[in-house]
Amino acid sequence: MEQEATDDTSLVEEALGGNRASFQLLVERYEQRVFNLIRHYTRNPVEIEDLAQETFLKVYRRLGSFQRQSSFYTWLYRIAVNTILDSLKRRGRSPVQAVEDLEAVPAAPAVASPSPSAALEREEIARITHAVLEELPEIFRTVLVLREYEEMAYQDIADQLGISIGTVESRLFRARARFKERLLQKHPEFGNEG
Amino acid sequence: MECQNARSMIPSYCDGELTEAQAGPLRQHLLGCQPCRGSAQDLKNLKRWFAAPAAAAVPTGFAARVARRAFAGDTGELAPSVPGPRVAEDGGRLLRFVLACTSAAAGVLLVLSIGVRQIGLPQTNQLQADQPAPQLDRALEELDRLNRAEKAPQAPPKQP
């Protein structure tokens, strides 16, 4: 891990010095993770590629501002998340809602969480989950993606989003409650399988 | 541990955010408290919906393409205004230009066709379908004269 961080830093230096192959290597190293991340926001392959490309072009343009204290991927990841969120806003997919308003919304009444049926294929589960996530407000979707898919620690999520750990916890709690609520609305058939 | 405390710690516990010193007492509580154990199980059920799907497909040559564009000076930034409406606006301007040209061309064609029609039309109103033209009269008279001459008995040839 440490070795990879060192390698990343060297590649950044070389890219800054005009070495295109070094930058290409950085892209190759992280393209899969960036594509996977973007895929949680859109299923359109063209859109995924456009956003990934926009992310890496921004990364190159801002390479000089990369602080070596953090890992390259953490830095790149922040650019990717911001690029995705900006794009969603630009395309009017996600109406802007005040964070305070959303966090003031009471959580859904406690009902048993549905569990995906054993018969469901992995891709089918992913499709259903994606459809539910798409209907969640952006702040809830992002915190769920970072925690559940990217398996980021609360502290890393807080750093990425520029919020406190306490806010991460409360946002996650509400996001999960919203997710459960929407899932059961869309698929009441899973409600009996808890 | 009180159930209220336990419930507030369950999400952090399931997310692996607790230290062993925090997780140990909670684990003990969960073993003896069925409702709290149910809460933990509930969260685990929910987390199963986030099973990672198959990796997204990365197009072949993506990294090389991006690196080439980056070094060619492509910033990846969109123009200040949203491209969609701009394209539509440009398209609308072009459409208006094409329509103006088409209508001008149609006008010219109309004028030309009227002019051509005027040239082709006879310049007199004396020609009527029920009145034979003077040339035709003369031709008919000539034919009539020849017919009569043919039918008339021919004079016998003079004897030498």
Flag if A23 and B51 touch (Cβ within 8 Å).
no
Give a three-class secondary structure readout of chain B.
CCHHHHHHHHHHHHCCCCCHHHHHHHHHHHHHCHHHHHHHHHHHHHHHHHCCCCCCCCCCCHHHHHHHHHHCCCCCCCCCCCHHHHHHHHHHHHHHHHHHHHHHHHHHHHHHHHHHHHHHCCCCCCCCCCCCCHHHHHHHHHHHHHHHHHHCCCCCCCCC
Write the residue in B50, B54, B75 that is nearest to A57 by C-beta: B75
Please indicate, yes or no, whether residues A103 and A174 belong to a single structural domain of this protein.
yes
Look at chain A and report how many structural domains it folds into.
2
Query: Does any domain span residue B12?
Result: yes
pLDDT more than 70, % of chain A: 80
Flag if B53 and A126 touch (Cβ within 8 Å).
yes
Please indicate, yes or no, whether residues A76 and A108 belong to a single structural domain of this protein.
no
Residue A176 pLDDT? 94
- Asked if A170 is an interface residue toward chain B (Cβ–Cβ < 8 A), one would say no
Write the residue in A36, A45, A53 that is nearest to B55 by C-beta: A36
Confidence check: pLDDT of A57 > 60:
yes
Question: Poorest-confidence range of A48-57, A111-120, A162-171, B30-39?
Answer: A111-120
| Average predicted confidence (pLDDT) for chain A | 82
Q: Look at residues B51, B109, B60 and name the one whose alpha carbon lies nearest to residue A130.
A: B51
Confidence check: pLDDT of A117 > 70:
no
Neighbours of A113 (CB within 10 A): 24
Most confident region among A1-15, A170-184, B129-143 by mean pLDDT: A170-184
CA–CA min distance B9, chain A (Å): 10
- Asked if A194 is an interface residue toward chain B (Cβ–Cβ < 8 A), one would say yes
Question: Poorest-confidence range of A8-17, A79-88, A110-119, B15-24?
Answer: A110-119
CA–CA min distance A58, chain B (Å): 6
Residue A41 pLDDT? 84
Please indicate, yes or no, whether residues A86 and A103 belong to a single structural domain of this protein.
no
Query: Does any domain span residue B56?
Result: no
Query: Does any domain span residue B94?
Result: yes
| Average predicted confidence (pLDDT) for chain B | 76
Residue B97 pLDDT? 74
Please indicate, yes or no, whether residues A81 and A30 belong to a single structural domain of this protein.
yes
Flag if A122 and B67 touch (Cβ within 8 Å).
no
- Asked if A109 is an interface residue toward chain B (Cβ–Cβ < 8 A), one would say no
Question: Poorest-confidence range of A41-55, A57-71, A93-107, A130-144?
Answer: A93-107
Model pLDDT for residues B86-99, shown as the tens digit of each residue: 334 344 566 677 78
- Asked if B82 is an interface residue toward chain A (Cβ–Cβ < 8 A), one would say yes
Model pLDDT for residues B26-84, shown as the tens digit of each residue: 998 988 899 999 889 989 988 988 887 788 889 999 999 999 999 888 776 654 444 43
- Asked if B71 is an interface residue toward chain A (Cβ–Cβ < 8 A), one would say yes
Question: Poorest-confidence range of A2-6, A164-168, A180-184?
Answer: A2-6
Look at chain B and report how many structural domains it folds into.
2
Query: Does any domain span residue B133?
Result: no
Residues of B whose CB is below 8 A from A184: none
Write the residue in B45, B47, B64 that is nearest to A24 by C-beta: B64
Most confident region among A166-180, B16-30, B31-45 by mean pLDDT: A166-180
Residue B52 pLDDT? 78
Please indicate, yes or no, whether residues A72 and A115 belong to a single structural domain of this protein.
no
CATH number for the domain including A148? 1.10.10.10
**Interface list for A 121-140 with B (CB within 8 A):** 122-123, 125-126, 128-129, 132
Confidence check: pLDDT of A112 > 80:
no
Residue B79 pLDDT? 45
Query: Does any domain span residue B21?
Result: yes
Please indicate, yes or no, whether residues A74 and A115 belong to a single structural domain of this protein.
no
Residues of A whose CB is below 8 A from B48: 115-116, 125
What pTM value is reported for the model? 0.62
Please indicate, yes or no, whether residues A110 and A187 belong to a single structural domain of this protein.
yes
- Asked if B43 is an interface residue toward chain A (Cβ–Cβ < 8 A), one would say yes
- Give the range of the structural domain holding residue B109, as residue numbers without chain letter: 88-117
> If you average pLDDT over residues A125-144, what whole number do you get?
89
Please indicate, yes or no, whether residues A86 and A142 belong to a single structural domain of this protein.
no
If pLDDT is split at 50, 70 and 90, which confidence band does B136 have? low
> If you average pLDDT over residues A119-138, what whole number do you get?
84
If pLDDT is split at 50, 70 and 90, which confidence band does B148 have? confident
Please indicate, yes or no, whether residues A122 and A76 belong to a single structural domain of this protein.
no
- Give the range of the structural domain holding residue A41, as residue numbers without chain letter: 2-90
Q: Look at residues A133, A151, A110 and name the one whose alpha carbon lies nearest to residue B14.
A: A151
Neighbours of B48 (CB within 10 A): 14
Residues of A whose CB is below 8 A from B18: none
Please indicate, yes or no, whether residues A73 and A133 belong to a single structural domain of this protein.
no
Query: Does any domain span residue B79?
Result: no
If pLDDT is split at 50, 70 and 90, which confidence band does A28 have? very high
Residues of A whose CB is below 8 A from B8: none
Neighbours of B81 (CB within 10 A): 9
Please indicate, yes or no, whether residues A78 and A154 belong to a single structural domain of this protein.
no
CATH number for the domain including A21? 1.10.1740.10
Cβ contact B36:B7 at 8 Å = yes
The domain boundary, picked from A48, A73, A90, lies at A90
CA–CA min distance A51, chain B (Å): 9
Model pLDDT for residues A41-51, shown as the tens digit of each residue: 888 888 899 99
- Asked if B57 is an interface residue toward chain A (Cβ–Cβ < 8 A), one would say yes
Nearest CA in chain B to A156: B17
Residue B157 pLDDT? 54
Residue A7 pLDDT? 85
Query: Does any domain span residue B100?
Result: yes
Flag if B11 and A176 touch (Cβ within 8 Å).
yes
Residue A124 pLDDT? 84
If pLDDT is split at 50, 70 and 90, which confidence band does A60 have? very high
Residues of B whose CB is below 8 A from A44: none
Please indicate, yes or no, whether residues A11 and A58 belong to a single structural domain of this protein.
yes
Neighbours of B24 (CB within 10 A): 11
The domain boundary, picked from A90, A108, A131, lies at A90
Query: Does any domain span residue B30?
Result: yes
Q: Residue A105 carries which DSSP code? A: S
